[in-house]
């Protein structure tokens, strides 16, 4: 395959907050029109990686290529043009509570186009239709379930017909059935609109269900990248630990209490 088949080429991304480095030499490619899932435990750097890719956090030159161009070299105008080609559903997926559903979807259309209100409403309703919410156009966010609000957030991310869709933790806070519905919706978007989709998650089942390609991260580094079967067959100890959720103390909610009997005490440095 030629280099052009990759939409995004991470060529060694490093990232810091203040003096603390949180991403280390991140390298992988993101193919067009496929679903790439970035997974790893909480705190490993997934959202930070996403913030670079959507231009919310500055990237040094030479570290990330987008469509053959250096993201770190984009000026304001280029960054704005790039953002218009991307849609983002953030972890919180926040809607404006004082606006109805269609008005929420209309926000990016009002900001970025000069279309008349009537047309904007029609476009917003079409986007709500894509996520199965066209009958709820005039509802307020408070009148919807968590899953419906997530879908509405997705409709808003789709408002400007993005080429690339970024989704951060789509299933967080949702029950398994609603989460599975959202996964299916993501697959439908890939099929019907041919979008390049990048999903960040720590949910294994969802990741393996939707991914064409998986990236496994740990502590700011890429552990493994490849197709689902490839990752499933990985012999890397830390990848296996992540897949099996073995008792790595970092990944246990509360190791001191969960691993011992009532009344037993764990003393530091012993056992
Ligand atoms: N705004 C911030 N300021 C300082 N440190 C941050 C900030 N956001 C995230 N971090 C740190 O960066 C690391 C990666 O966080 P994040 O990218 O949010 O991980 P994930 O999305 O995988 O849970 C963590 O150690 C986190 O504490
Ligand atoms: Mg996160």
Mean pLDDT for 159-171 is: 92
Strands 35-39 and 196-201: parallel
CB-ligand 1 contact for 42 (6 Å cutoff) = yes
Closest residue to atom 16 of ligand 1, CA basis: 45
Look at residues 49, 45, 37 and name the one whose alpha carbon lies nearest to residue 13: 49
State which ligand 1 atom lies nearest to the alpha carbon of 91.
21
Report yes or no: 85 and 69 within 8 Å, Cβ to Cβ.
no
State which ligand 1 atom lies nearest to the alpha carbon of 18.
4
> What contacts 181, CB < 8 A, 6 or more positions away?
147
Predicted confidence band of residue 5 (pLDDT cuts 50, 70, 90): confident
Mean pLDDT for 167-183 is: 87
Quick one: pLDDT at residue 156? Answer: 94
Question: pLDDT tens digits, residue range 61-95?
Answer: 999 999 999 999 999 999 999 999 999 998 776 79
CA 11 to ligand 2 center in whole angstroms: 22
Q: Is the pLDDT of residue 251 over 60?
A: no
Predicted confidence band of residue 172 (pLDDT cuts 50, 70, 90): confident
Distance CA 45, CA 190 (A): 25
Quick one: pLDDT at residue 249? Answer: 53
Burial tier of 24 (Cβ tally within 10 Å: 0-12, 13-18, 19+): middle
Between the alpha carbon of residue 242 and those of residues 21, 49, 167, 203, 247, the distances in Å are 22, 19, 21, 11, 10
């Amino acid at each position: 395959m030629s280099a052009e088949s990759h939409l995004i080429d991470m060529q060694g991304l490093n990232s810091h907050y203040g003096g603390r480095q949180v991403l280390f030499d991140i390298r992988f490619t993101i193919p067009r029109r496929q679903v790439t899932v970035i997974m790893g435990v909480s705190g490993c750097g997934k959202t930070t990686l996403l913030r670079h890719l959507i231009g919310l956090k500055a990237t040094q030159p030479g570290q990330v290529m987008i469509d053959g161009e250096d993201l770190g070299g984009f000026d304001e105008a280029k960054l704005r043009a790039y953002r218009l080609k991307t849609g983002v559903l953030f972890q919180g997926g926040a809607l404006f509570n004082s606006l109805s559903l269609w008005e929420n979807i209309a926000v990016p259309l009002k900001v970025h186009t000069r279309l008349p209100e009537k047309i904007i409403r029609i476009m917003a309703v079409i986007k709500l239709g894509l996520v199965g919410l066209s009958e709820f156009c005039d509802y307020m966010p408070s009148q919807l379930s968590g899953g419906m609000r997530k879908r509405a957030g997705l409709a808003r991310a789709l408002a400007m017909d993005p080429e690339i869709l970024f989704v951060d933790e789509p299933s967080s806070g949702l029950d398994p059935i609603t989460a599975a519905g959202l996964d299916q919706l993501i697959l439908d978007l890939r099929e019907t609109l041919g979008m390049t989709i990048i999903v960040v998650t720590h949910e294994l089942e969802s990741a393996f269900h939707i991914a064409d390609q998986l990236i496994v991260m740990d502590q700011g580094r890429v552990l493994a990248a490849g197709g689902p079967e490839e990752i499933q067959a990985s012999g890397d100890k830390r990848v296996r630990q992540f897949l099996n959720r073995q008792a790595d103390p970092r990944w246990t909610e509360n190791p001191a209490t969960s691993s011992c009997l009532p009344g037993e005490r764990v003393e530091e440095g012993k056992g």
